[in-house]
Structure 1
């Protein structure tokens, strides 16, 4: 594998209005790590998702969707005693999306160290984890630690997207757990607040800071680089950060210099926000140049 990602993927429902009023909704899947996996596959890399789903129809939707996108699902565990998690997206106003989780006791929250080690079979150049998985419980935290230990011992790269979720745990608790992981990561990715949460200046690997409308920057041992964001009409901002991460890690796997890694990340993020859904708008390698074409261009 070029990359293995570890975490929970849920069935997602997106409403066209307030949930309390009823109405229609669309069904898909969502998960920070699986969004990165899909993004990497579309950009030409071999990626595997390691996780648990329930032995239920939402679980089958998760596996079927990832498999259809070319993600390796050979390490997926189907749990007969726990359901697949559910995430609800509510467009409360044109500019505000509210996210509701139903993941307590889910199959994903039962991910174990044994699951993680088994999922690494065959090896990988890169392991990608987020700060979401350790917040799901002792088992998922052990899974992340075991995977990081195994990949580091084998000489692989480890990337950590801090992805702090305040609904799952406090900043103090997240800092206590994630800082040791960040210190062992080859690449740490996050917003300015998230980077500070895990140690900031103490980090010795690559530190990639997502700056939203101001683009992104990376600090390596050789210097600091930055890239502006693309000015596009955003349809759905959810998933932009994970899309950026997929683009940046793709550039890392392709051995691009830091500035070009950042540029690929901001490009994939710009594609993502122009479509509804976490991962649906992610580009392929061949589509990356399309963002630079003049408005109204028709390709024939």
Structure 2
């Protein structure tokens, strides 16, 4: 009787058709952010959007011409409807998104405070995505997929989500897919010690790792990019791409015992509007160029350019460019200004 009840409250929505070459996996929430620079307690109005690292990457990749699918869970509520329709409208395949009648869609709030990094507040405990069970994944979901991209956010949500993340990697690798992992540390979700242990376990199973300097230090205890990369490569990763802020990014690979290093400079930004989502744009840029078989410098350059462009827009994904827009920006090497 209990099993029958569970089957009634969770349903899969299927719109199969684009055969995704890339899958992302993670929670997306409805985002409410201050309309003007203001702390939340003083804000008189809020603008609605959506936010989720993995869906940001999904949208970024579709705008760059890639076929992308998103694996997640949403509440069977108006917020879930909003997220579903928005991602569908962006061309993201939602074949295996599940709608839950018992648990709601997560919500988050963001306060914009000028050039200071925005304050973010999560209301995602007991959300539909946080109760994600690994048994809901199947081999069919990963057929034909070239890359699975996930972040360190999902395993931080619950023990069930952690198991689901590892199961997704297992199924993806079994299907022959490459694994891309962005640590995307969220200190509000778990402790540094627990995150470090989980990140190391995930890195051992992944091919491409995309940390920032702070995340690299968390994982390895070191601050120098070269030292961070050497330690992460020693865990089994094939490519380590380290974001070094305004200076750009550095990619490391190791072949026959030799360390290879490529660096691409960042793009100047005259005025930062919102930094949230820049790392997700970076990931979309790098992965799209890598799948296009561009050389490593061009992969970094596209990633750097998109990261810079995204900081000029409020919201997590609204500023993600098309391939034509980012190529035009790169060729002009013009400083971004609002």
**Range into which the TM-score falls when normalised by the shorter chain:** over 0.9
Q: Deviations over 1:97-145 (max 9, x none)?
A: 1001101111110122133336724331000010000001111111111
1:10 corresponds to: 29
Cα drift, residue 245 of structure 1: 0.6
Matches within 5 A, 1:65-80: 65-80=86-101
- Could you say if the C-alpha distance between residues 295 and 36 of structure 1 is closer, same or farther in structure 2, counting changes exceeding 3 Å? closer
Matches within 5 A, 1:74-93: 74-93=95-114
Pair member with larger Rg: 2
SS at match of 1:198: helix
Cα drift, residue 93 of structure 1: 4.2
1:215 to 248, 266, 290: 248
SS at match of 1:106: coil
2:288 corresponds to: 250
2:244 & 2:140 partners in 1: Cα distance?
33
1:177 to 190, 198, 204: 198
Contact 1:117 / 1:146 at 8 angstroms: preserved in 2? no
1:225 to 248, 262, 266: 262
Instruction: Tell me the TM-score normalised to structure 1 length.
Output: 0.94
Instruction: Tell me the TM-score normalised to structure 2 length.
Output: 0.84
Contact 1:7 / 1:51 at 8 angstroms: preserved in 2? yes
Cα drift, residue 235 of structure 1: 1.6
2:42 corresponds to: 21
- 2:173 is the alignment partner of 1:158: no
- 2:292 is the alignment partner of 1:271: no
2:69 & 2:219 partners in 1: Cα distance?
26
1:203 to 235, 246, 255: 235
Matches within 5 A, 1:23-172: 23-117=44-138, 120-172=141-193
Query: What CA RMSD, in Å, does the superposition of the two structures yield over aligned residues?
Result: 1.7
Unpaired runs of 5+ residues, structure 2, are 1-19, 221-227
Q: Between Structure 1 and Structure 2, how many residues are aligned?
A: 296
